[in-house]
């Protein structure tokens, strides 16, 4: 793994897993490498399959050291809830969809988007808004276009070129989220931490009711369009070095990994994937749409998103792919929830960039990350796995 790639792994893993990223957290992540353990696989050979380590990425301290009474913990003086509130069962995504149908689900997702918009002004400083630019990208290999949000670091006189470009794919279970209001604060932090341009993709959502406009539901190819633009034009237009990394969380990690597999398999004379893409940051990703054991066993327990809600999201994405995706009827008959075109857990994962895979120990998606890390390593790739407590 290159020297430039390694600090990007460290920064991305912290910035996307933690809402409060700081230099002290980065130092803790660095020190945690000393306690790493080799990851074992079902393979009986003795070659190294990768590494896995666990660590507490932050120090929880009392909100006030002067009081002897029990207080809420804090990180960098920001109070944390002692327990994530659990929404009523009737407000869970799967309950809304089953009881009121797709129209109610779309309204729920729209209200979520309004929430992100109201949070935007408190998360992004006024002087940083000028560093956020909306634009439309097109691919030289297809006629498809995709909207993206580009984030740039603050201008520094001694910088001639930025270090590279980070392709970012937001999460939201394929039904909500966007490339600006939901993730702007994190993308801006990444630009500063790595001195790169961040290109976040505004892909199609499965919660949007079909409007008979003939548009194909194909979020993977929308990410591929952004990927193509980055490789062909991005470095010149954004004045960066031709070095690229990818980052995605939850459903965004699934879409990012599928887009990388499509890019790897191209035979149109493009450079090899690993020669241009230095690493992938895959954060609590959804890699098996049939549902891993940790997701199915979670039921309605976890908060804010439980296992049954995640399974409902997977069903919505799967059904949308079959109904409006870029597949013929014969192809649709062959696509089940474990098909490699939608569940990268079952794909050939060879010849992919090094990956940092991170997840929390209480996340219903825990098994997705653990199983993928093993598969990723068995296929001969460099992979590092981080387990966050909670």
pLDDT tens over the chain, length 390 residues = 554 554 454 444 444 443 333 332 333 333 333 223 333 333 334 344 555 444 444 433 333 434 444 344 433 344 444 555 666 777 777 777 777 677 777 887 888 888 888 888 888 888 899 999 999 998 776 678 899 999 999 876 566 899 999 999 999 999 889 999 999 999 999 999 999 999 999 999 987 755 445 567 899 999 999 999 999 999 999 999 999 999 999 999 999 999 999 999 987 767 788 888 999 999 999 999 999 999 999 988 887 888 999 999 999 999 888 887 655 555 556 678 999 999 999 999 999 999 999 998 889 999 999 999 999 999 999 999 988 877
Q: Pairing mode, if any, of strands 197-202 and 383-388?
A: unpaired
Q: What angle do CA 79, 83, 89 make, to 5 degrees?
A: 135
pTM attached to this predicted model:
0.78
Contacts of 344 (CB under 8 A, 6+ apart): 254, 257, 258, 261, 287, 372
Sheet containing 73-75: order of strands: 61-62, 73-75, 78-79
With beta carbons less than 8 A apart as the criterion, state whether 148 and 137 touch. Answer: yes
Query: Residue 165 to residues 6, 20, 136, 161, 202: CA-CA distances in angstroms?
Result: 15, 23, 17, 11, 17
Count, in order, helices (H) and strands (E) of the chain.
12, 13
Burial of 148 (C-beta count, 10 Å sphere; 0-12/13-18/19+): buried
Contacts of 376 (CB under 8 A, 6+ apart): 50, 349, 352, 355, 357, 383
- Residue 351: other Cβ atoms inside 10 A: 15
Phi, psi of 133 (to 5 degrees): -130, 125
């Amino acid at each position: 793994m290159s020297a430039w790639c390694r600090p990007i792994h460290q920064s991305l893993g912290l910035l996307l897993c933690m809402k409060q990223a700081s230099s002290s957290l980065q130092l803790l992540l660095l020190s945690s490498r000393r306690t790493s353990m080799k990851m074992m696989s079902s393979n009986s050979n003795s070659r190294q399959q990768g590494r896995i380590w666990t660590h507490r990425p932050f120090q929880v301290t009392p909100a006030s050291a002067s009081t002897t009474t029990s207080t809420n913990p804090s990180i960098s003086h920001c109070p944390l809830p002692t327990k994530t509130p659990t929404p009523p069962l009737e407000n869970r995504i799967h309950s809304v969809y089953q009881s009121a149908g797709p129209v109610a689900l779309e309204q729920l997702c729209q209200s979520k988007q309004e929430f992100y918009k109201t949070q935007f002004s408190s998360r992004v400083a006024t002087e940083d808004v000028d560093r956020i630019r909306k634009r439309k990208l097109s691919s030289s290999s297809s006629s498809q276009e995709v909207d993206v949000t580009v984030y740039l670091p603050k201008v520094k006189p001694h910088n001639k070129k930025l270090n590279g470009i980070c392709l970012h794919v937001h999460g939201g279970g394929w039904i909500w989220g966007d490339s600006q209001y939901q993730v702007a604060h994190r993308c801006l932090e990444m630009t500063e931490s790595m001195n790169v341009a961040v290109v976040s993709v505004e892909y199609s959502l499965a919660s949007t009711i079909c409007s008979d406009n003939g548009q194909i539901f194909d979020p993977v190819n929308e990410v591929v369009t952004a990927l193509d633009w980055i490789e062909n034009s991005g470095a010149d237009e954004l004045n960066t070095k031709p070095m690229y990394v990818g980052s995605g969380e939850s459903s965004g990690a699934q879409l990012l990994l599928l887009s990388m597999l499509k890019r790897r398999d191209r035979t149109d004379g493009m450079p090899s994937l690993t020669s241009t893409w230095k690493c992938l940051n895959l954060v609590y990703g959804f890699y098996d749409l049939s549902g891993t054991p940790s997701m199915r066993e979670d039921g309605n327990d976890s908060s804010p998103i439980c296992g049954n809600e995640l399974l409902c999201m997977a069903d919505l994405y799967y059904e949308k792919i079959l109904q409006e995706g870029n597949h013929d009827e014969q192809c649709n008959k062959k696509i089940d929830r474990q098909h490699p075109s939608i569940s990268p857990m079952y794909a050939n994962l060879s010849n992919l960039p090094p990956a940092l895979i991170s997840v929390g120990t209480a996340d219903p998606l825990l098994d997705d990350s653990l199983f993928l890390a093993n598969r990723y390593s068995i296929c001969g790739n460099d992979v590092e796995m981080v387990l966050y407590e909670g």
